[in-house]
Amino acid sequence: MLSNEQNRLLTRVEGDAPMGLMLRRNFWVPAVRSARLQAGGAPVRVRLFGMNYIAFRTDDGRVGFFDERCPHRGVSLTLARNEDNALRCIFHGWKFGVDGAVLETPTQPVNSREFAQAVKLNHYPAREAAGMLWVWLGREGEPPAFPELEFMGLPQSHFNVRLQVVPFNWIQGIEATIDSSHVGILHADWVNGLGELNLMAENTAPTYDMKMTDYGFKAAALRPLNDGRSYIRVTQFVFPWYSFIPPSGMTTGDRLTIISVPVDDTHSLQIYYRYNISRPIKHDDWLALKNPDHFSPLPGGYDDAWGQDRASMKDGSFSGFKDLALEDFVVQISIGAIADRSQEHLCLGDQIIVRTRRLFLQTLERHQAGEDNALSSARQTGLRDVRSVSTIVPEGIDWLDPSVAASAR
């Protein structure tokens, strides 16, 4: 349970909220799929941390990331012409280079050069990796190190990225992804259909263990099995929003990383990376059918319980939802846009959640005291071997034993 003040510190990211300031200052933010930015094409509006931006790609392939509003009189630059490797506002024709420089101000005929130099358009460092554009919104000082994660640098055939904006706070997204205790229950339909994941349904009350690291933590769900062996699932969390989820089928070797990024206080961008480090991922229905920018459209609301199918529940479905991500999203939406963490009754199965909240609050506290530790100062490099584990081991093997990580497929 958190106090209202702690909950506010943990969740709020807009304006001068300390968490938002720390995240923007110290971390690169995944913002938009690279493929949405066509050379010479329409600028794309992006909302992050309660602010609106535009991203665009010039004819020669460079990417710009600006505040959304034209510094002249505020027209949205989503309407701007993308020409000559620059953006031209359609209201009075002011023109901006990809680096944010004001190149022309045609409605200021006198001293136009000096005038243009005095105008400021906020622009931000942007880099592309793993099919996404990442931006640094820090504004002051130098950008932090760019994250080096397992799925970065893979050939295009080996990963897929899917996005969905959802109406709940970013921390709820993180809490859902690191919460192994709900998997065998909320996702029972899915678990039952998948080989070894039946083991989760066999034992829905695993014991948990957690090890803090200098990039975040490893969290293990340990399930003793009837035959004496132990089913181990290790989630890894890279501060501040990367959850490496244990593989959902040991045979495929595909991995899943979910990123929960603040859009504003009440919305977040959920980014699902599916990838395989050794072979192309299989293009199944999930990948083929869904709009990559809205991979799980959210139907309805309270009035129709988001389309929950009661008939299918009588027929054997546990949740009444067909889609795994939709199950997670609907549950979080129903909690409310910002969960009231002063009203919860936490149990043993929530240990990881409790420690994660503490980790965020302590990191923020240290950051505010001017004492940047490894987390808040963004240890993001050298993390290519951070990965989740799903494995069965003989009795008595510690989950931190190197053989456990090595046995992960």
Binding site for Fe ion (CB under 5 A): 328
Residue 391 DSSP code: E
Rg (CA), the chain: 23
CB closer to ligand FES out of 71 and 349: 71
The strand order across the sheet containing 86-88 reads: 81-83, 86-88, 95-97, 102-104
**Residue 342 and residue 7 in contact, taking contact as beta carbons nearer than 8 Å:** yes
- Among 242, 234, 210, 188, CA closest to 353: 210
Single out the segment in contact with ligand FES by CB under 6 A; choices: 48-56, 91-99, 264-272, 314-322. 91-99
Report the residue number, 73 or 120, with the smaller CB distance to ligand FES: 73
Helix, strand, or coil here: 218? strand
Residue 328 binds which entry of Fe ion, ligand FES, none, CB below 5-8 Å type-dependent: Fe ion
Which one of the spans 67-75, 265-273, 303-311, 312-320 is the region binding ligand FES (CB under 6 A)?
67-75
Smaller CB separation from Fe ion, 254 or 328 = 328
- Pick between residue 96 and residue 242 the one whose CB is nearest to ligand FES: 96
Per CB under 6 A, the segment of 92-100, 165-173, 213-221, 365-373 that binds ligand FES is 92-100
Where helices occur in 197-337 by DSSP H, the ranges are: 198-202, 285-289, 310-314, 324-335
For residue 279, give both structure tokens: 């072979």
Interacting span for ligand FES (CB under 6 A) from 33-41, 65-73, 148-156, 398-406: 65-73
66 touches 121 (CB < 8 A) = yes
Q: Which residue is nearest to Fe ion (CB)?
A: 328
Note whether 70 binds ligand FES by CB under 6 A.
yes
Query: At its nearest, how many Å lie between ligand FES and the CB of residue 93?
Result: 6
* Burial (Cβ within 10 Å: 0-12, 13-18, ≥19) of residue 353: buried
Structure letter (DSSP) for residue 329: H
Interface with ligand FES (CB under 6 A), residue from 14, 39, 91, 253: 91
CB of 73 or CB of 409, closer to ligand FES: 73
Among 62, 72, 229, 290, the residue binding ligand FES under the rule CB under 6 A is 72
Lookup result for tokens 């504003």: 264
**Reduced 3-state DSSP string for 232-273:** EEEEEEECCCEEEECCCCCCCCCEEEEEEEEEECCEEEEEEE
Q: Which residues contact 290 (CB under 8 A, 6 or more apart)?
A: 162, 296
73 binding ligand FES? (CB under 6 A): yes
Partner interacting with residue 27 (select from ligand FES, Fe ion, none; CB below 5-8 Å by kind):
none
Report the nearest approach of ligand FES to the CB of residue 71 (Å): 8
Q: What distance lies between CA 164 and its chain's CA centroid?
A: 10
Tokens representing residue 198 in the block: 């039946």
Does 89 engage in binding with ligand FES (CB under 6 A)?
yes
Which partner from the list ligand FES, Fe ion, none does 91 bind, CB cut-off 5 to 8 Å by kind?
Answer: ligand FES
Positions that interact with ligand FES (CB under 6 A): 70, 72-73, 75, 89, 91-94
